[in-house]
Amino acid sequence: MDGDGNGWVECRRGHRHWGVHGAAGLLLHAVDDAGVVRLLLQHRAEWSHHGGTWGLPGGARDSHEDVVGAALREVVEETGLDGHRLRTRHTFVDDHGGWSYTTVYADTPAPLATALNRESVELVWLTVDEVPDRPLHPGFAATWPQVRAAPTTLLVDAANVVGSRPDGWWHDRGGAATRLLDALGGLRATTVRGPDGGARVIGSVVAVVEGAARSVPDPVWVAVLRTPRGQGRSGDDVLTEAAARLVAEGTTVLAVTADRGLRARLTDLGRPGGPTRVDVVGPRWLLGLLP
């Protein structure tokens, strides 16, 4: 019944927690006009448990709810956001024994305006790097290194991905590339599980095209790099140069290709000790995200 989750419980680790059926919060990401990934944090009201700290909007789960439903209900109450505009993704469960907290990954294309209720002093869209600088709720601080979603630029070898899907692309390479790029635009600002299982949030998408696909129209939300004709530079060269440039800017790159030679070149860019890594994943991972 409504509100039957409200109450204190002691977990097997000896902590006191709010939520007799456990609790859930929303780790909500968006991408701002400058292309920077942001997430919504709540500055908790002074009267609340661990008042004055920062954490995720959320709260206790009622017995009839699933965790995603509970997180959404609490977030709508606490932020005034329209739940229909929030896309929920995978979850992370922090199980203390006798009580658990579920982080629900979610995203929305842009940082939306919020409205405070009495549980919050402020609601702020912070960058991922700004989060540890705030005085965090101890439970959130403990899981932050595990739940943190790495802002990532997706760098797509479009010819390789198109060629990996036997959908008749050989009849119309330009059309197949156009369809792929349109679908890629929908991945901006989405929170996904990376190839290593860790959470990532896609801040931007860059695609390299070549050959017959060079003249595809510019899609929304995808930066297209067109391999020049007859200058001795291949699509692999263009993609490797782009990856090097992004790494130099401090961007974390996830490159999508099954091409072994290209994989080796990209892996060399991301040698340990560098400021960021280039991870490489095959087209199947990407195709699993597309409609």
**CB atoms inside a 10 Å sphere around CB 40:** 24
Contact status: 13 vs Zn ion (CB under 5 A): yes
Nearer to Zn ion, 14 or 217 (CB): 14
We find the least distance from the C-beta atom of residue 21 to Zn ion, in angstroms, to be: 14
Handedness of CA 106, 111, 117, 123 (dihedral sign): positive
Nearer to Zn ion, 102 or 152 (CB): 102
**Nearest of 254, 155, 151 to residue 199 by alpha carbon:** 151
Contact status: 11 vs Zn ion (CB under 5 A): yes
What span, in angstroms and rounded, lies between the C-alpha atoms of 51 and 141? 14
- Which among 19-27, 62-70, 93-101, 114-122 is the span making contact with Zn ion, rule CB under 5 A? 93-101
Determine how β-strand 87-95 pairs with β-strand 191-193. unpaired
We find the least distance from the C-beta atom of residue 17 to Zn ion, in angstroms, to be: 6
Nearer to Zn ion, 94 or 237 (CB): 94
Q: What are phi and psi of 235, to 5 degrees?
A: -60, -35
Using DSSP's 3-state secondary structure scheme, residue 260 falls into helix
- Which among 15-23, 56-64, 240-248, 249-257 is the span making contact with Zn ion, rule CB under 5 A? 15-23
Q: What are phi and psi of 44, to 5 degrees?
A: -75, 145
DSSP result, 170-181: GG-HHHHHHHHH
- Which among 6-14, 22-30, 106-114, 231-239 is the span making contact with Zn ion, rule CB under 5 A? 6-14
Nearer to Zn ion, 15 or 245 (CB): 15
Contact status: 15 vs Zn ion (CB under 5 A): yes
Binds Zn ion by CB under 5 A, chosen from 50, 87, 96, 226: 96
Residues in contact with Zn ion by CB under 5 A are: 11, 13, 15, 96
